[in-house]
Structure 1
């Protein structure tokens, strides 16, 4: 499985659905805020209520879970207890509300972090969202999307293709901070970067994950 770098970044479809929103909080806290925002969003989406209607206890629980996860991901061993101030939480709630508002426009049942089985050396994964035939990854940063973000989407699509009966037809990167979504029709994306059909592309992914690198 090869990606043709000389072809550059595929164009896709870009939709600006809200004005950007920023805060003066330290950039070092971005991962904590993003993880908390997604947890708060998930709580509201599953309860089918507005973010403002979530109880304070539920918000604090989402923040605590996010803090525990970021502590593991950072791997520094430094405690993050109390790191999320009221200003941090308020901005996380703002991002959660924007993401919740955007997802109301999606087609199909919304699944939050569904499990996709792994293959070979690739472990199971949890994409942020799947709505019908659209797989969505959420990014909450001041910068636009990067090529590794597209590669991440393709890994998720490969696992969905190989290990489930899901029909993923579109992949999307969404950023509630910038109010932007970048969407791709999966067949066109794979053809653009590899020249192959999805079936051949994902079969090659499976072969590589299992250590079979034959052309």
Structure 2
């Protein structure tokens, strides 16, 4: 009888000990999850131009996480590590922004970022002739000038300038047996693509 009683007590002790261990494991698991949740922070902000207009579709990178700003220039990135994080913000036709931001443990941080518009542009386009054979054979004889400065023409008829200041420019294209092409263009920041330019053959009047 005593032997059975001892066995029963022994089993109860083992059961209670096992239950305590399981409870501690469960508690530790949820405590660890809570700590991990608290260690993840959120970074929110707004991207606006220097004229206070919101910038839509800006690219925001915080360490290895990405997002884009919405129509109102707002964005939010979650599950970030607390501490110092590198933030990079880029948008078409604006100067890129990069900084280090300290994100406090278990909190949401907010930042307002102003981006400056770029003060230069790249002008590009392509030349099309009514006679493709002429264009291929005489590419070296076609002259393109932007404000009297020569611009090289690629073998496929495309051209692209280096960075030039945003301004109003004149484009002059000259080719043998073709009418001169002349146009004045207001450049915009980033890239100004004027598309295809069709050269027209000169009309030769014979007596």
Tell me the TM-score normalised to structure 1 length. 0.19
From the CA coordinates, give the structure whose radius of gyration is larger: 2
**Which structure is higher in RCO with an 8 Å CA cutoff and minimum separation 6?**
1
Q: TM-score, normalised by structure 2?
A: 0.19
Higher strand share: 2
